[in-house]
Structure 1
Amino acid sequence: MTDATYSDRIAFVEELAWHLHAYGTTAERMEGAIGLVARRLQVECEPWSNPAGIILSFRDPARPARHTDVTRIVRPGLGDTHLRRLCAADRIAEDVICGRLDIAEGRAALHELERRPTGRENSLLVLGFLLASTAVAGLFRLPWLDIGVAAGTGLLIGLLLVASQSRPRLREGFEALSGLLAGSMAILASVLLGALNLNTVIIASLIVLVPGMTLTLAASELANRHLVSGTARFAGAVMTVVNLTIGTAIALAVAGFLGLEPQVRALRPQPEWVVWCALALGAYAFAVLFQARRRDYPLVMAAAVGGYLVSRYGGEWLGASAGVFLAALATTAAGNAYARMANRPGALVRLPGIIMLVPGSVALRGVVSMVQSQDLSVGQTAALAVFNTLMALVAGLVFGNLLISARRNL
């Protein structure tokens, strides 16, 4: 570090910020982590993060106070959770801070993380969509036909996502096309194969795209006074729900125009063992979708299962909102404790622990039902459920961080 120039240190902090943002780090954790790394590198940095980019203002400590030397704007685009690369970036930053790597080697190591997904990674992504849709349908205790339709649709949506990676125009309409695909598959299956829990099957098919985690992170950022980032993230989540609903509504409208009448039923016949199998399958699916390292799969799966169990049994004991609060509190505290003990990002525990608690499916169900009935009152119950769940989650995240503080914010 002593041999590195001021420009080299700025370049490393900028590169690290790009990677942390690209791997789904929230505004408050991003700014805290970047500020700490910059101080360790003897650079004063004032970061400002939002979902679309980062502004970094640097000052040489040898210069007069509040004199900004360099301002950089970093635009990696909308980030996506990638636990394997997040852990790698965190390890590189740790090695540079501790002197195990010089700054040039650290930048080179960060550059090596930038590569296009391999065929194996894309195959795992598609598998994750398939398993997640299957698992959520099982957790909803849907009949076997409903589970099969949700699984098949999840597979098709995963393939559509892989196809959109190299086609910008397809990527722009991906969410609406996914909603159209999910609605069309559910309607055709209900007409040709048998009655379905129609809306629930559609939601299970789209579960990976439902922005429940985004809504939760947005509420958390707003609670931490990151108003611009929280508002932007919240608006993005709302538009994702709108796009998914638009696609579903088009499918229903086309079916009505063609005279196709879907057979709808409300039936949840599955025994308890199906729920437990679905829970294990869902935990594995989210380990795949969060793109964790293979050796971290047991940890990620245990966190997902633990969060669900605390929420379920805590909810049976104290009420649904209290169960969600306890689960968020436990997973946040456990994630921070793991980060301190293992010197690795607590996101490995925190994100999987709350993924099954987020209210995205309730939000989508409410909007779809409201559009189908053209009645605002239909969505009020869902909106209240979303609000209660978000309050419980944010309270759990806040008090979990108070109980055990985060290690270097990640």
Structure 2
Amino acid sequence: MSAVGSAAQAPFDTRLAFLVELARRLHQYGTSAPRLEMAVAGAALQLGVVADVWSSPTAIIISFAEASRGEEGLAQVTQVVRLAPGDVNLARLCEADAIADRAIAGELGLREGFRLLRELGRPETRRAQAGVVGSYGLSAASVAALFLHSSWADLVVAGAIGLVIGLITVLSATRPRLAAASEAISALVATAGAILVSAFVVPLAIKSVVLAALIVLVPGMSLTTAVREISSQHLTSGMARMGGAIATLLKLTFGTVAASQLCAAFGISAGTYVLPPLPRWMDWPSLLVGALGFAILFRTARRDWAVVVCAVVVGYLATRWGGLLSTAIAGAPVGVFIGGFLLGAMANLYARYMHRPGAVVREPGIILLVPGSVGFRSVSYLFERDTTLGMDSLILLVTLLISLVAGLLFGDLLVSPRRSL
């Protein structure tokens, strides 16, 4: 009997428990609905089970039947799992993928595989939480230098506010009431902090500092994933994720508007003169620092840090050079398309030859391509009753999302994915 065959001969309940736990972990670590459904259904077939999988940002429904019952066999068991929206954790995603491969290959018993998958749900250590807080500061500072070309003061203040926001985010993970309002609180803290520093310490480019500090919370990845799911006909999941992203944008915008009005009520106004911007050579160290921050932010294992840094650099350079090669009007969409195309193909090549999830390349690589900041600005303009700029930014947001998703899809066509993740 082959190793895979022995796994398929395990008790039916044991195989189901393993598959449900695998689905739970993949969802928890940020896997999109199409990839999760494909991965779980494929694993089920290798275990002699037919699984009909339905995934959404907040739930998974799986119907199971023995493969030996044939196509006419009805589902024997249906499992409904209620879950909170997942967050990308590349280290644990890779662990879950490796456990599933070993269990299906017969190197692990399914009960042992189930136990190892269950252990992945352990809380993060204090050291890991401190790393996440630090990654918020690094990401904010790098974005301030790389995209906004702010002054040294803007960079330092954005990084410091980013650390505070990272702390709020980590604390909200175990406090449900705080979690519900964490985006609005973070936006309020970021805006109020920037205005106070600009008024009493050193003048700042307020909008740039606030945007850089909040960049990690802006749901660009969620918007991109939503469009990818809708384009693959996973309409329920895509629309639900889109609704969650819009709600996050509204909370962030409300926090910034509330802080601005509060400061104005107390007569606090920001400085009016502008400091000189950072030199252009700062782009490269900022890019490397930002890539390292994203590696920590996505909870990447240290062995994969170099891969993540390369993916972020490739995504940024492809977008930048693609924009320079095209006209000024179409520059941004074309650059984003080229970046998504290269990263989609690279992720599939990495998964094919390294036998590990392509998400290690794909998710960090597109972080600088996702147009979350454009969505934030669009909603901000609408809150300020500037409908012209708001609608113009909204159209740009849609264009960039379509360009990025199209690039990823064409990348899949160039190099067909051999692995679901």
Does TM-score exceed 0.5, indicating one fold? yes
Match of 2:392 among 367, 372, 381: 381
Superposition TM-score, scaled by structure 1 size:
0.97
Deviation, structure 1 residue 162: 2.0
CA distance in 2, matches of 1:298, 1:103: 33
User: Which residue identity lines up with residue 72 of structure 1 in the other structure?
Assistant: Q
Quote the residue 1:48 is aligned against: 54
* Contact 1:176–1:243 (Cα < 8 Å) also in 2: yes
Quote the residue 2:3 is aligned against: none
- 1:326 equivalent to 2:338? Answer yes
User: Which residue identity lines up with residue 394 of structure 1 in the other structure?
Assistant: V
- 1:24 equivalent to 2:30? Answer yes
Quote the residue 2:415 is aligned against: 404
- 1:245 equivalent to 2:292? Answer no
- 1:353 equivalent to 2:365? Answer yes
- 1:295 equivalent to 2:283? Answer no
CA distance in 2, matches of 1:16, 1:105: 13
- 1:73 equivalent to 2:80? Answer yes
User: Which residue identity lines up with residue 402 of structure 2 in the other structure?
Assistant: M
Quote the residue 1:222 is aligned against: 230
User: Which residue identity lines up with residue 412 of structure 2 in the other structure?
Assistant: N
Quote the residue 2:151 is aligned against: 143
Deviation, structure 1 residue 66: 4.4
Match of 1:306 among 299, 314, 324: 314
CA distance in 2, matches of 1:380, 1:190: 30
User: Which residue identity lines up with residue 296 of structure 1 in the other structure?
Assistant: D
Match of 1:211 among 219, 222, 227: 219
CA distance in 1, matches of 2:275, 2:42: 53
> Residues 123-157 of structure 1: CA distance to partner in whole angstroms, max 9, x if unpaired?
00110011001100111210011111111110111
CA distance in 2, matches of 1:357, 1:93: 31
Any idea what SS the aligned residue of 1:243 has? helix
Quote the residue 2:95 is aligned against: 88
Superposition TM-score, scaled by structure 2 size:
0.95
Match of 2:123 among 101, 107, 116: 116
* Contact 2:8–2:46 (Cα < 8 Å) also in 1: no
CA distance in 1, matches of 2:274, 2:50: 60
CA distance in 1, matches of 2:190, 2:229: 31
Identical residues among aligned pairs (%): 44
Deviation, structure 1 residue 369: 3.1
* Contact 1:141–1:268 (Cα < 8 Å) also in 2: no
Deviation, structure 1 residue 375: 2.2
**Runs of 5+ unmatched residues, structure 1:** none
Any idea what SS the aligned residue of 1:407 has? coil
User: Which residue identity lines up with residue 339 of structure 1 in the other structure?
Assistant: A
Quote the residue 2:4 is aligned against: none
CA distance in 1, matches of 2:62, 2:390: 41
* Contact 2:152–2:277 (Cα < 8 Å) also in 1: no
**Runs of 5+ unmatched residues, structure 2:** 1-6
* Contact 2:381–2:387 (Cα < 8 Å) also in 1: no
Runs of 4+ in 1 over 6 A off after TM superposition: none
Deviation, structure 1 residue 320: 2.0
* Contact 2:203–2:274 (Cα < 8 Å) also in 1: no
Any idea what SS the aligned residue of 2:69 has? coil
CA distance in 2, matches of 1:123, 1:105: 31
> Residues 41-71 of structure 1: CA distance to partner in whole angstroms, max 9, x if unpaired?
0100000001111100011123351401000
Q: How many pairs does the alignment contain?
A: 409
> Residues 103-137 of structure 1: CA distance to partner in whole angstroms, max 9, x if unpaired?
11110111121111111011001100110011001
What RMSD over aligned residues (CA atoms) do the two structures have, in Å? 1.3
Any idea what SS the aligned residue of 1:355 has? coil
* Contact 1:336–1:405 (Cα < 8 Å) also in 2: yes
CA distance in 2, matches of 1:142, 1:75: 44
User: Which residue identity lines up with residue 398 of structure 1 in the other structure?
Assistant: L
Deviation, structure 1 residue 270: 1.7
User: Which residue identity lines up with residue 63 of structure 2 in the other structure?
Assistant: S
User: Which residue identity lines up with residue 313 of structure 2 in the other structure?
Assistant: V
